[in-house]
Structure 1
Amino acid sequence: MDTPPELGTRRYNQVSATIRAIIEQIQQIWQTLSADRIEDELLGEAGAVIAEAAMAGQFSVADAAQAYVAAQMATQGGLSLAQAALLPRLLPPGFVGLAPGGGRLETLLYLPGIGVRRRIAAGLPPDEAMIGGLVDMTMYIATAIADVARTADQVAMAAHPSCVAYVRVVQLPACSRCIILSGQMYTRSEGFLRHPNCDCEIFPLHEDEWPGVATPQQLFEQLDKEQQQKVFTVAGARAIRAGADIGQVVNARRGMDTTHIYGRDLQVTHEGATRRSAYGRSRSRAGDDFARFAGQRFGEATSARYFRSTRTPRLMPEEIFRIADDRDEELRLLRRYGYIT
């Protein structure tokens, strides 16, 4: 029987392989596009094919989430797979078509076209502008699929009574902001702090279980000197090697107090922060001041292939976990907004 870490590795590989396969499709499509017509093409058939591929990737990783959580709980002494089959079922279409934060995925995937036009206006040759646009597109798609995988995992954990917490697992290469959170344990409903292109994963936990996840210091020591300096800066890496606390070194730069996505810097806020907030405890554990990102926006269903559209604002799972008082309330809202049966 697979062990919990092996199952986690398999889940990570499944999500990574899905992202790579979708990005390869997008690269082939992108090669057929032209810089002078890129915005029109992204509004037309090419853009529709790109969005369809990205949503297929989202569906795939969401579809595998419940089996992953059920297998983890079974190996850790929770419900058997047969018992887990009787639990509320996760609905993969409910996760499809959403951009990180809850906006429309189609809108997000149009932004690389605007980026191409702006690069050309700034004086870049069309070929270089198109390369920059492709980089933007692959980052948006990779982030959108990885976010769905983590969100679906958390919804599956909410539906599984054996799951009480999760551990953040960081895979190298990784940025300094993620490394200092490696091995941190969170309650199952705590939001997952991430950034564009973040591929960190959720490791579901049964009560009293704790897998062998690398600590921030262990990850730092796995990097060679050049890699340490690239991730933590020359001065930061030197300070850590000299014995400085890795969390304090990273947080001194306040790297997690802003995030750049959708073409602009989004500022974090202290407004309304409580000790039950999505990110408050994780920031506190990492040695930072008590802070959290602003609340997630409401999303709207966008893909007719995967689920029906609605004009009613739809709560994101992260927002449901933030506002629900207990598991029963979580399940009620998850059902109401189409994430589980």
Structure 2
Amino acid sequence: MMAERPPADLAIARNRQISSITRQLIELIQRIWRTLSAATIADDLEGEAGAAIVAAVVAGQITAAQGAQAFVAGAMAEQGASAIPEALLIAEAFGGIAPDGGPLETLLFLPAIGVQSRLAAGMTAEQAMIGGLADMARYAATSVADAGRSADQTGMTAQRGCVAYMRVVTLPACSRCIVLAGQMYSYSEGFLRHPNCDCQTLPLREAEWAAVQTPEQLYASMSEAERRRVFTVSGSDAIDAGADVGQVVNARRGMSVAHLYGRNLQVTSEATTKRSIYGGRLRRAGGEFAKVSGQRYSRSTTPRLMPEEIFRIADDRDEQLRLLRRYGYIV
């Protein structure tokens, strides 16, 4: 028999925490953006203003990650499970990485290209800059929310009492999120998200949830028109042809791919310099580094797995914890 579900208050509070971090970040970005010019936007974002925005977003990511372990421990304690984690999360490991796994600096330069494109299309400088600010706000908010969720899932893995999570949706929300509200997944199952998604996880102790529909069951119950509206025509065609729903919906695209552990896996080059936590561990273990043209520090020649790839390929929690330690997300 399924245990009574805990209230979603903790998840809602965590959502508000991330939202507060994001609001403060966007306010700072707006202040910086007001000092920039459409005519010099590329130079501005390659210079001190761009560095200030990147630093602010990294700080927001780390702050979001810092709250993860307390959030998971609180959820476990509320359900009568041990609140003591098996490993400690390294919040700094979640900073500086874009939602697509690439360099955050690259993502946060894209608004400059957007401004230039709008100018070329005939928009006024003011219109182009407003659009560029909207782009920057979206990228920044998504980067912070994604870092928080990734840290939450890592925290769940480090808490053996946690076996699942429930998706908590706070309105307003898009149809992709609404159809998944209240659904439960294994603690290591990837979180379906998209740019600007602010849905939250609620860590659960429950071991069974047979009565809860899976994403595939939800998709099967939808009309063809609703499928095409929610997943797009090409997305629904791909799912009908056998594609995984999570891979179609998941907003994390564009990561580089490396052949590791006998398969092609998504990796990131971020936080792999000798000065990073992961890089320092790798250096002490005899790892190799190489200078990358145009970059200040040498980077590891060994790809770094993203947390969601670790959850996907590892067979059990012990292996997940081993890989999370190896790649510098926990200690």
- Report the TM-score, using the length of structure 1 for normalisation: 0.75
Instruction: Tell me if the contact between 1:33 and 1:41 (Cα under 8 Å) persists in the aligned partners.
Output: yes
Counterpart residue number, 1:319:
309
Q: What CA deviation, in whole Å up to 9, does each residue of 1:55-79 have, x standing for no partner?
A: 0000001011001001100110110
CA distance in 2, matches of 1:164, 1:24: 37
- Note if contact 2:65-2:91 (Cα within 8 Å) is conserved in structure 1: yes
- Residue number in structure 2 paired with 1:70: 73
Instruction: Tell me which of 7, 29, 52 is aligned to 1:49.
Output: 52
Which residue in 2 is equivalent to 1:171?
170
Residue 157 of structure 1 pairs with residue 153 of structure 2 = no
Distance 1:65 1:249, change over 3 A: farther
Which residue pairs with 2:227 in the alignment? 251
Cross-structure match for 1:35: 38
CA shift at 1:258, angstroms? 7.0
Match of 1:23 in 2: 26
Identity of aligned residues (%): 53
Q: Which residue of 1 aligns with 2:10?
A: 7
Cα offset for 1:97?
Answer: 0.4
2:191 aligned partner:
192
Q: Distance in 2 between matches of 1:299 and 1:154?
A: 18
Deviation at 1:299, TM superposition (A): 1.1
When the two structures are superposed, what TM-score results if normalisation uses the length of structure 2? 0.78
Task: Name the aligned partner's letter for residue 127 of structure 1.
Answer: E
Name structure 2 gaps, 5 residues minimum. Answer: 1-5, 213-220, 256-265, 280-298
Q: Retained in 1: the 8 A contact 2:277–2:328?
A: no
Residue by residue over 1:232-272, the C-alpha shift from the partner in whole angstroms, topping out at 9 and shown as x without a partner, is xxxxxxxxxxxxx667653232526779xxxxxxx978999
State whether residues 180 and 246 of structure 1, in contact with CA within 8 Å, keep that contact through their aligned partners in structure 2: no
Amino acid at match of 1:67: A
Asked whether the equivalents of residues 100 and 252 of structure 2 are also in contact (C-alpha less than 8 Å), the reply is: no
Q: Shift in Å at residue 279 of structure 1? A: 2.5
1:197 to 1:183, Cα distance in 2 relative to 1, 3 A: same
Asked if 1:332 corresponds to 2:322, the answer is: yes
In structure 1, distance between residues paired with 2:52 and 2:234 = 32
What SS is found at the alignment partner of 2:163? strand
Displacement after TM superposition at 1:8 (Å) = 1.5
- In 2: Cα distance, 1:172 partner to 1:106 partner: 31
In structure 2, distance between residues paired with 1:292 and 1:323: 19
Contact kept? 1:170, 1:178, Cα under 8 Å: yes
Which residue type is aligned with residue 24 of structure 1? E
Match for 2:246 among 258, 279, 282? 279
Whether the aligned pair in 1 keeps the contact of 2:8 and 2:168 (CA below 8 Å) is no
1:299 aligns with 2:268: yes
String of CA shifts for 1:206-252, please: whole Å, max 9, x gaps.
12598xx9xxxxxxxxxxxxxxxxxxxxxxxxxxxxxxx66765323
Equivalents in 2 of 1:278, 1:157: separation in Å?
23
The amino acid that maps onto 1:56 is A
SS in 2 for 1:204: strand
CA distance in 1, matches of 2:117, 2:18: 32
- Aligned-pair Cα RMSD in Å: 3.2
Query: 2:231 is aligned with what amino acid?
Result: G
CA offset at residue 177 of structure 1? 1.1
The alpha-carbon distance between structure 1 residues 25 and 303, as it changes in their structure 2 partners (threshold 3 A), is farther
Deviates more, 1:3-12 or 1:68-77: 3-12
Q: Call closer, same or farther: CA 1:269–1:6 in 2, change over 3 Å.
A: closer
Paired letter, 2:268: G
1 CA distance for matches of 2:23 and 2:102?
23
Distance 2:241 2:100 in 1: 18
In structure 2, how many angstroms separate the alpha carbons of the residues matched to 1:258 and 1:167?
Answer: 28
Q: Are the counterparts in 2 of residues 78 and 162 from structure 1 also a CA contact under 8 Å?
A: yes
What residue ranges of structure 1 are gaps of 5+ in the alignment? 214-244, 260-266, 284-290
Distance 2:277 2:42 in 1: 27
State the alpha-carbon separation in 1 of the partners of residues 227 and 194 from structure 2. Answer: 15
For the 8 Å contact 2:93–2:329, the answer to whether it is kept is yes
The answer for the alignment partner of 1:222 in structure 2 is none
